[in-house]
Structure 1
């Protein structure tokens, strides 16, 4: 009997020692993954639908946050999907998910075949850009997104600098 108890205790200890720690808030991660899928489907309305009405979208290369779902859709999503209609946005590795926050490194690529929102004409150049984003999700909606990437390298790849 002691041997069985010992084996059962050892099995439980082994399972606990080798288990993957639970860091994920599956709801927040699922929202962000669906948001990326909408970007990759080139559907700006579907992507923007994941934003809370008062979302704050921060692009570190710009420095000034965009506030509100409609402004973020027009100023970011529509801008990129018009300029890069073949855009592809992919997570690199697994995201870090905790307490409604989701962070991950990414790769964004495509060819600049459309004009940018500020009137800059298309360059026709392909690019691959890497960066990282941090999202905050509450009640199934993205309340904040912050993007960090090498804007100088991006502009150089497009031939704009």
Structure 2
């Protein structure tokens, strides 16, 4: 029996919480697309790089879903709201391509995502979290507005 989107997404979250990107990638189709706050990743290689980078930046990363909602067709799509927590202990790629070195700061960032599956594998996964919330918790500030 093929797993539902909810079951697949729950397995991905469990594997991320175990920091096992090999298991995470088993649930993505070869040509899957992952879209996050920093942009799209296309195909397993790019998606794996994104998750590996995230786990390097936050080696104690945990994702705690607090609301799981079946989408229009629960067999093929699922929605999750979650809190992503961790400690910033490694380099983090910032918009524009610069790196933020480890700050040692703890984060607790709210997010939401929608995944779609075909034949038991994720073909589209869109996760969005508040980058301003993340960056402010890491001690970054917005530049002053020019009048």
Task: Give the TM interval when normalised to the shorter protein.
Answer: 0.7 to 0.9
**Residues 9-48 of structure 1: pairs in structure 2 closer than 5 A:** 27-48=4-25
Indicate the residue corresponding to 1:55 in structure 2.
Answer: 32
Indicate the residue corresponding to 2:145 in structure 1.
Answer: none
**What is the distance in 2 between the residues matched to 1:33 and 1:122?**
29
Task: Name the SS of the counterpart of 2:9 in structure 1.
Answer: helix
Q: CA RMSD in A?
A: 1.6
Where in structure 1 do 4 or more consecutive aligned residues deviate above 4 Å? none
Is 111-120 or 123-132 further displaced after alignment? 111-120
**Any stretches of 5+ residues in structure 1 without a counterpart?**
1-24
- Alignment partner for residue 112 of structure 2, among 117, 132, 153? 132
**What is the distance in 1 between the residues matched to 2:5 and 2:133?**
31
Contact kept? 2:4, 2:75, Cα under 8 Å: no
TM-score scaled by structure 2? 0.84
Contact kept? 1:54, 1:143, Cα under 8 Å: yes
Shift of 1:93: 2.4
Indicate the residue corresponding to 2:40 in structure 1.
Answer: 65
Aligned length: 134
Greater strand share, structure number: 2
Contact kept? 2:79, 2:115, Cα under 8 Å: yes
Is 43-52 or 31-40 further displaced after alignment? 43-52
**What is the distance in 2 between the residues matched to 1:43 and 1:159?**
29
Task: Name the SS of the counterpart of 2:13 in structure 1.
Answer: helix
TM-score scaled by structure 1? 0.77
- Alignment partner for residue 87 of structure 1, among 38, 61, 70? 61
Q: Relative contact order (alpha carbons < 8 A, sep ≥ 6): 1 or 2 greater?
A: 2
Contact kept? 1:44, 1:81, Cα under 8 Å: no
Greater helix share, structure number: 1
Which of the pair has more CA radius of gyration?
A: 1
- Alignment partner for residue 101 of structure 2, among 118, 121, 124? 121
